[in-house]
Structure 1
Amino acid sequence: MFANLSIPMNATAQGVDQFVSKVMTGAIAALLKRTEKLDVRVRAEPVAKLFHGSIDGFDFIGQGLLMHSGLQVDRMEFYLQALSIDFGALLRGQVQLRQSTQSSMRVVLTEEDLTAAFNASFLTEKLQQLSYGGQPLLFEKTRISINEDQFLRMQSWVYFGQVEQMLEIDITARLDFKGRRKLQFVEVTYGGDQRAIELGQMLTRHVNNLMDLDQFSFDGMKRRVDLLRLKDQQLTPYGVAYMEKFPQQHG
């Protein structure tokens, strides 16, 4: 993943935490296409226990993140209370877990982030699996907004059949998580004429089957949501991340 790293044989224990933080920051940055800020903090007492791969706490705070899938995130936080890693792998610039672990999680998505997600290819390609009257559908210019009553509104232009045939759908819904991992549109209302309503209902069913967090997590990681807040034009899920192995860069 990275060039081999080394620490001087006479390095003090106090310098080891900086070395570990540096390697873990690089490993996380490699998973992302772009970052505005990454803050990784490793805690161990005494610090010398890091030589054995034992970490008391690990905090990760990222801002302005862009995934390789095209998903952008305003803020992502993970807080681990204990972690066991292979120190020898760190010297090779790699992070390898000795055992599975879990962390508390907080993610902040703005209206801009959500709008970008529904216009990114990894989602639009899945939405194109829908058809209406035997004709394939093309969703474009999707806009996501969060109302003051904590409902989410989704507006999108839908093209079908000949390109000149298009219709705007307008969906307002409360968000929920089924089984702590599947994002659901519930208490849904639709705008427009009967055809727009039918397309909106079809899109709602498809999105409810599509938005599984496990499909959008890093390899080796599963996320579960315990609380979901919509406030100040932001969607903020709180929950737990289960990590069986440290994610690796692909491609």
Structure 2
Amino acid sequence: MFGGLTGFTNPTGTDWGEQMLNTVASKTIRHLFTQSESVEVAVRCYPSSKLLQGSIDSFKMSGRGLLIRREFWAEEMSFETDAVAIDFSSVLGGKLALKQPTQAVAQVTLSEEGINRAFEAELVKKRLLNLTLPSLTELSGGKPVSFQEVRVELLPENEIKIWAKADLSQEELVPVSLTATLGIERRRRVQFQNPKFEVETLPESQRETSLALARALAEILNNMVDLDRFDLDGVTMRLNRLETKGKLLVFSGYAQIERVPGKQ
């Protein structure tokens, strides 16, 4: 399942404390992901006698091709802490437990392909299907509305283009298209700002309906991408910035770690 599990350790300079910590930390971290291409862990503790007091100089993790909660792919993920206090007895037992909460600098990279795959995840689809939207009651005749076949394209300068098809419980699906600028609200929610709706290429008879649906979809997305819904147990993520780089979307921020999460 895990294509590679290596450390950043120096084979000639790493003492027993770092060796043991790296082994235990690697085992603990790899269980956070359903699947991964590689996970690299480096724990620094020098001299090793500091471990007896539960003191670690730093903890670093870097992973690629990570599957989270069985449905969400991250191209890359990394985090690094400063000094950390751990329970030494937990290390002897083959686990890693914190004595007190700590913070880590974190970076997560998503690919355009991974984002599109996320729209097929059950956790995401259920927030787009069979919706009762007051703003669309007249269009749908009071029936639930569903957004299907959602796909995105990452654009320069933090822009994103979104296509979808809306089911109004009628005979045909209505195409929906919009472009927005990605932003961050309250350091935890991704926002689709300044949306621009594209209806010019549609038949005249569909334009008004498509415009109303696109506005509704933008509102739904603004209330959907909330990091608190995707946090690992015991870990809270917060964002400082995001940036599109070609077909990648890079998030930078920090993680508040209350405890080392269990297996996902």
Mapped to 2, the partners of 1:197 and 1:229 lie a distance apart of 28
Mapped to 1, the partners of 2:168 and 2:78 lie a distance apart of 40
Mapped to 1, the partners of 2:229 and 2:76 lie a distance apart of 20
Mapped to 2, the partners of 1:234 and 1:171 lie a distance apart of 19
Q: Equivalent residue for 1:6? A: none
* Cα shift at 1:63: 0.3
CA distances 1:129-162 after superposition (whole Å, capped 9, x unpaired): 5234222233332211112343111111222315
Instruction: Find 1:224's aligned residue among 210, 221, 238.
Output: 238
* Cα shift at 1:52: 2.8
Q: Equivalent residue for 1:76? A: 77
The 5-angstrom pairing of residues 43-54 of structure 1 reads: 43-54=44-55
* Structure 2: gaps spanning 5 or more residues: 1-13, 200-206
* Cα shift at 1:91: 2.5
Mapped to 1, the partners of 2:46 and 2:162 lie a distance apart of 49
The 5-angstrom pairing of residues 111-122 of structure 1 reads: 111-122=112-123
1:209 aligns with 2:223: yes
Q: Quick one: which amino acid aligns to residue 73 of structure 1?
A: A
Q: 1:198 to 1:244 in 2, by over 3 A?
A: same
Q: Equivalent residue for 2:202? A: none
1:137 aligns with 2:149: no
* Cα shift at 1:118: 1.7
* Cα shift at 1:215: 1.2
CA distances 1:9-56 after superposition (whole Å, capped 9, x unpaired): xxxx81231221122122121121100000000011212212332111
Q: In angstroms, what is the RMSD of aligned CA positions? A: 1.8
1:102 aligns with 2:110: no
Mapped to 1, the partners of 2:44 and 2:173 lie a distance apart of 56
Mapped to 2, the partners of 1:15 and 1:234 lie a distance apart of 39
Mapped to 1, the partners of 2:47 and 2:130 lie a distance apart of 55
Q: Quick one: which amino acid aligns to residue 208 of structure 1?
A: N
Q: Equivalent residue for 1:165? A: 172
Instruction: Find 1:175's aligned residue among 173, 182, 189.
Output: 182
Q: Quick one: which amino acid aligns to residue 232 of structure 1?
A: G
* Cα shift at 1:120: 1.2
Q: Equivalent residue for 2:8? A: none
Q: Equivalent residue for 1:25? A: 26
* Structure 1: gaps spanning 5 or more residues: 1-12
Instruction: Find 2:156's aligned residue among 148, 162, 165.
Output: 148
Mapped to 2, the partners of 1:144 and 1:243 lie a distance apart of 32
CA distances 1:77-136 after superposition (whole Å, capped 9, x unpaired): 101011111121123232211000001011111101111112211111122252342222
The sequence identity of aligned pairs, in percent, is 30
Could you say what secondary structure the match of 2:34 adopts?
Answer: strand
Could you say what secondary structure the match of 1:142 adopts?
Answer: strand
CA contact (8 A) 2:116 2:151 kept: yes
Q: Quick one: which amino acid aligns to residue 66 of structure 2?
A: L
Could you say what secondary structure the match of 1:50 adopts?
Answer: helix
1:190 aligns with 2:197: yes
CA contact (8 A) 1:229 1:236 kept: yes
Which stretch has the larger CA shift, 35-44 or 65-74?
65-74
TM-score by length of 2: 0.84
CA contact (8 A) 2:130 2:146 kept: no
Q: 1:159 to 1:69 in 2, by over 3 A?
A: farther
* Cα shift at 1:165: 2.6
Q: Equivalent residue for 1:3? A: none
Mapped to 2, the partners of 1:58 and 1:240 lie a distance apart of 14
Aligned residue pairs, count? 238
* Cα shift at 1:242: 0.7
